[in-house]
Structure 1
Amino acid sequence: MLFVCLLFLGHAAGVFRIEPGTASLPAFSAAWPVLGGLVLTVDFLLLATIGLLLSFSLPQLEPLPASLLTLGCTVPPVYLSYTGVLQPGVLPMEYYLLIILILFVINVLISYYAYSHQRQQIIDTFSHYVPVEVVRQLCREPDSFSLEGESRELTVLFADLVNFTRVAEQLEPMELTRLLNRHFDVMSSILLDHDATIDKYIGDSVMAFWGAPLVQHDQSSKALDAAFAMQEAVAELSRDFAERDWPTLDLCIGINRGDMNVGNIGSSKRASYTVIGDAVNVASRLERLTREYRVPIITSAHVVQSSPDYTFRQLDRLVLRGKQKPANIYQPLFKGASTANGDDAWLGMHDRAIELYIKGHYLQAHEQFSELLKLKPDDEYYRGMIERIDRLFD
């Protein structure tokens, strides 16, 4: 706006002239007496009004209203110029139109810069929770997702450190903070590398999900890939922590797939993009069962059905807390088919043992689990099942 006023006063007072074929720049001393009388002219008041209106209004308006306002501001100078109210010698009508155009273009450039800066801030912020490529796609296609609550079939993962209270007792607060930060930094990187949305950190555990905000058809496989990568990373971290005389870590993971509500959930003061529902609760309970069944990862039948590229073994059939119907629980073993190193024979024996156990043939199941423990002496799951059956007859 200051530029507009200077342009008007300078031209009208004869400080400079911009006309085809001529260019003049008289002394400033000759122009000063003229400037005072120009401020109250219709020409200056019209230009000042238009300039102030556009300067304050354009940044507040959406593109369409801003364009309409700019177009509307061209009408008064054109009309008053043709009716003779404006003095062409003071400021030609073309200058009014040029100045209006300049103000509009400047606003467009400023708005574009502000939008680009804001967009980059959004990408930087949400890339801590969602993969960067997902955030960029959301920025390009905002209609492809909604932050309002909606029901979707998603895959949710809970990962929790085992015996963290014992770990906390062995470290000073600063060391414990460094250990947790290092752990979460590695786990978060793995989850984001596998296209997860990190929901929240709860103490020493992390919650993440797949399938929102963008639809992912291979969400269960991505969750399993992430879970195995997290287990490998924890083993590597433990070796690093042992060199610092820090406690080693064990990670338990529960994964479930099902219908849940996803969206902005919270209060008017604070909300978070999260998932809720019975399927989420089931994933949390599966994570807790890993300690009881002595395995690192437990999944539901829904995950098994949607992950044909993984080989699983059934662990048990039980009624989860808060549920009424029994459900099968599984451990993912590896990616691919069970065709190497006698896996088919071993899994066949395992399936027979589980079938006997579920049907209540505990003595026969005990024999089968004992044979399996001889075959897999490092498998704590079989040792735990034998102890479970022994307690039934105590």
Structure 2
Amino acid sequence: MARSQNPANPTQAGRDVKEEARGVLQSLRRLFDQLGPIRLGSTILFLVLALLMARFSWSTPLIQDAERALYDMRASVFAPEVEKEDRIVMVVYNEDTLKLTGQRSPVDRTILAQALETIDAAKPKSIGIDILFTMPQDDDALLVSVFKQIQTPTYLAYADPKYNPEIGFAEHEFLAAFLSEVEGENLKPTSIRLNTDSDGVQRRWTPEKSDTPPFMAMALTKPNPKFSANEGAIRYLVPSTSDMPVFDKFPIESFADPATAEMLQSFIADKHVLIGGDFIDRDRFETPIGSITDLQSEDGKMIGLEVHAHMLAQLLNDDMPAIIPNWTLWAAAIIVAICGGLSALIMGNAAKVAGLLIGQFAFFLVFPFILHQIGVDTLSLPAFGWGLGWLFGYASVSAAARTINSKQRAFAQNALGKYLPKSIAGEILRDPEKLALHGEKREIFAVFTDLEGFTKLSHAIEPEMVATLLNDYLDRLSEVALEYGGTIDKFVGDALVCFWGAPLALPDDGERAAKAAYALYQAGEDFRKNVPEGVPAIGRTRVGMHYGDAIVGNFGGEGRIQYTALGDAMNTAARLEAANKALETKVLVSKEAMERTNLDWYRPMGKITLRGRSTPVEVFEPVPDWEKKDREAVTAVIAAHKQGDIGYIQALGAMLKSSKEDLGLANLLKRLEKTKNGESYALG
């Protein structure tokens, strides 16, 4: 029989939940401590701003202009193309009509009455008249008679001064009385008000008011439940060919003229007829598609009658774009802000990160066009707001992350700095793998220093003063080494050990190392000239520099890591530093190092055999304050000595007379006198 398993321990599960909750709280507390209240508050504020921008960009000043421009682009690119919308015909008063009738405002009503008789006889589906009758005329009786006899369902323009401030009280009173007189079974009032956006562009339907007649496009067609709210974007049509407009447009006088009236009846039979004005100075609207649909317009604007025609065509096509619910826009805004914030935390390959960021921006740009093409109303879609919200989310979290990283980096570098040079600490922070315990063979410029007589001095003064002087001295030398890009290996008492070429090798390592070597000597001179009163005289700082192979890396075991260099380059540099004492020089540079510094400020100091080393070393001393001819003179002496010509040594003696304090040059003269044919001088 199988043994049943024990059920999970509920007490242990409760402890686990508490531990996880405690861990989360501790993480949040660390986050708060690292950011601080001001930075944390600003980060949250920017994230809230990112959310609001991604949601309300259509109603935010300045930003809404960008949203409108992007929408107009979408509306133009994906506007439905038609050869001709032959269910709707426009009959218009135009400038020629005004010249013919000699009457501009109000328009001639006799010509309207005559045209209506012709149009009504052609039996169209409906007639919509976008003309307001706001003042009496002599020919009103004729027009009223035609209206009362009309057989076609006809809708006459109405405007309420509450929503149309351009209509005065007296004008409205006459309009209401006129409509009351002519209203009947086949003639009803209709609202013609068009609402533009604040930039003057007609993009959207005008919401119907409960206290006004039905909107013209609604009145001319059968009720359509999808359009009952009368909201959303107008779907403008564009012509498929540039030589044909979307809607036929006829001058009204053509229908009033018996010579052409009968012929034109076939163009309006069984169609919706819209009658209105086509004037250059009024009732014209900017649209998202410019002048694409109105080939006769030179200013890119569309007459109000044609706007009504496009809305009527949209109703007839049952083309109601899907409205995006508010909750969807809120959800999208939250996702955008979160994506922006999370994107700031992406780490890894720069190309992949850049590709991911570019991909998100491409999505914000392309996705609204896709939605528009598949029939979604993008009039309220915050496309630009998404991009801006993402950017604010990215910036806020990025700034917070930089703050945290900076503090963590400072903490880590400070901790590592107790064991490693700052340059190495920085390398490890960038690439933690470099902390592994291993070494590699590198060619480096090694530099050793030593302060002459400091050990003896330390026995002559108080320990506190020794510590003060030593710290000051080593600080000065460290600053010099770091200034020239050196890696500080270690301090050995009053000696500084540093090198160039690891962990990073640069083309000018030799030049910087040589300049640092001489600057270390100068820093020592400044130090000994500024010691406190009562402190015995301090000797010179001696420097040795060599170029060669070394094993560079982390050594010391898991408990105590030291980044250091080992090998011949280090040993030779140390012996060169010590050789300064015997040669009475300040800075000694080996030939191997000198040839790689690209500097011409050296004088040769002969060939020497260092203690513990069998191979002789040609050494040089930097003398940047010497003239070129003097350096060449010493070089000529050394070359002559190699050839066994001791006559040149006298020239060196002559130079000493003009520089009696040059101990190094005097020492060179003595060594040359004791050797011949360029042989090495062995140091005891």
Q: Do both proteins adopt the same fold according to a TM-score greater than 0.5, normalized to the shorter chain?
A: yes
CA distance, structure 2, for counterparts of residue 231 and residue 183 of structure 1: 11
How has the CA–CA distance of structure 1 residues 313 and 386 changed in structure 2, closer, same or farther, with 3 Å as cutoff? closer
Given that 1:129 and 1:197 are in contact with CA atoms closer than 8 Å, whether structure 2 keeps it comes out as no
How has the CA–CA distance of structure 1 residues 112 and 345 changed in structure 2, closer, same or farther, with 3 Å as cutoff? closer
Q: Tell me which of 403, 413, 435 is aligned to 1:123.
A: 413
Given that 2:525 and 2:541 are in contact with CA atoms closer than 8 Å, whether structure 1 keeps it comes out as no
SS in structure 2 of the partner of residue 283 of structure 1: helix
The yes-or-no answer on 1:330 pairing with 2:620 is yes
The yes-or-no answer on 1:356 pairing with 2:322 is no
Match of 2:481 in 1: 191
Normalized per residue, which structure has more helix? 1
Match of 1:318 in 2: 608
Aligned AA for 1:380? L
CA apart distance, 1:58: 9.4
The yes-or-no answer on 1:299 pairing with 2:582 is no
CA apart distance, 1:149: 0.6
Match of 2:460 in 1: 170
CA distance, structure 2, for counterparts of residue 198 and residue 221 of structure 1: 17
Task: Please identify the structure whose Cα radius of gyration is greater.
Answer: 2
CA apart distance, 1:344: 2.8
**Correspondence 1:153-168 to 2 at 5 A:** 153-168=443-458
Aligned AA for 1:318? I
CA apart distance, 1:315: 0.8
Given that 2:423 and 2:487 are in contact with CA atoms closer than 8 Å, whether structure 1 keeps it comes out as no
TM (normalized to structure 1)? 0.64
TM (normalized to structure 2)? 0.39
How has the CA–CA distance of structure 1 residues 54 and 328 changed in structure 2, closer, same or farther, with 3 Å as cutoff? same
SS in structure 1 of the partner of residue 604 of structure 2: strand
Aligned AA for 1:349? A
CA distance, structure 1, for counterparts of residue 420 and residue 13 of structure 2: 49
The yes-or-no answer on 1:385 pairing with 2:668 is yes
CA distance, structure 2, for counterparts of residue 385 and residue 358 of structure 1: 14
Q: Tell me which of 9, 14, 28 is aligned to 1:48.
A: 14
The structure whose RCO (Cα within 8 Å, separation 6+) is larger is: 2
How has the CA–CA distance of structure 1 residues 54 and 214 changed in structure 2, closer, same or farther, with 3 Å as cutoff? farther
1:123-150 Cα deviation digits (max 9, x unpaired): 1234567775664454234467865211
Match of 2:657 in 1: 374
Unaligned runs of 5+ in 2: 1-6, 26-341, 346-396, 677-684
Aligned AA for 1:364? G
The yes-or-no answer on 1:220 pairing with 2:510 is yes
Aligned AA for 2:539? L
CA distance, structure 2, for counterparts of residue 128 and residue 228 of structure 1: 27
RMSD: 3.8
The yes-or-no answer on 1:345 pairing with 2:629 is yes
1:261-303 Cα deviation digits (max 9, x unpaired): 0112234543411100111111011101111222211111222
**Correspondence 1:85-96 to 2 at 5 A:** none
How has the CA–CA distance of structure 1 residues 257 and 388 changed in structure 2, closer, same or farther, with 3 Å as cutoff? closer
Match of 2:538 in 1: 248
Aligned AA for 2:601? T
Given that 2:454 and 2:538 are in contact with CA atoms closer than 8 Å, whether structure 1 keeps it comes out as no
How has the CA–CA distance of structure 1 residues 389 and 133 changed in structure 2, closer, same or farther, with 3 Å as cutoff? closer
Identical residues among aligned pairs (%): 25
Given that 1:242 and 1:248 are in contact with CA atoms closer than 8 Å, whether structure 2 keeps it comes out as no
1:18-63 Cα deviation digits (max 9, x unpaired): xxxxxxxxxxxxxxxxxxxxxxx99x7797376268569999xxxx
CA distance, structure 2, for counterparts of residue 55 and residue 279 of structure 1: 56
CA distance, structure 1, for counterparts of residue 668 and residue 506 of structure 2: 36
Unaligned runs of 5+ in 1: 1-40, 60-104, 335-339
Given that 1:155 and 1:223 are in contact with CA atoms closer than 8 Å, whether structure 2 keeps it comes out as yes
CA distance, structure 1, for counterparts of residue 407 and residue 449 of structure 2: 35
CA distance, structure 2, for counterparts of residue 309 and residue 209 of structure 1: 18
How has the CA–CA distance of structure 1 residues 230 and 318 changed in structure 2, closer, same or farther, with 3 Å as cutoff? closer
CA distance, structure 1, for counterparts of residue 418 and residue 662 of structure 2: 37
Given that 2:452 and 2:538 are in contact with CA atoms closer than 8 Å, whether structure 1 keeps it comes out as no
How has the CA–CA distance of structure 1 residues 350 and 263 changed in structure 2, closer, same or farther, with 3 Å as cutoff? same
How has the CA–CA distance of structure 1 residues 178 and 246 changed in structure 2, closer, same or farther, with 3 Å as cutoff? farther
CA distance, structure 2, for counterparts of residue 322 and residue 157 of structure 1: 19
Given that 1:145 and 1:213 are in contact with CA atoms closer than 8 Å, whether structure 2 keeps it comes out as no
How has the CA–CA distance of structure 1 residues 292 and 187 changed in structure 2, closer, same or farther, with 3 Å as cutoff? same
CA apart distance, 1:237: 1.6
CA distance, structure 2, for counterparts of residue 345 and residue 385 of structure 1: 18
CA distance, structure 2, for counterparts of residue 46 and residue 234 of structure 1: 67
CA apart distance, 1:235: 1.8
CA apart distance, 1:242: 5.9
CA distance, structure 2, for counterparts of residue 185 and residue 386 of structure 1: 37
How has the CA–CA distance of structure 1 residues 114 and 355 changed in structure 2, closer, same or farther, with 3 Å as cutoff? same
CA apart distance, 1:215: 2.8
Q: What is the aligned length?
A: 297
How has the CA–CA distance of structure 1 residues 392 and 277 changed in structure 2, closer, same or farther, with 3 Å as cutoff? closer
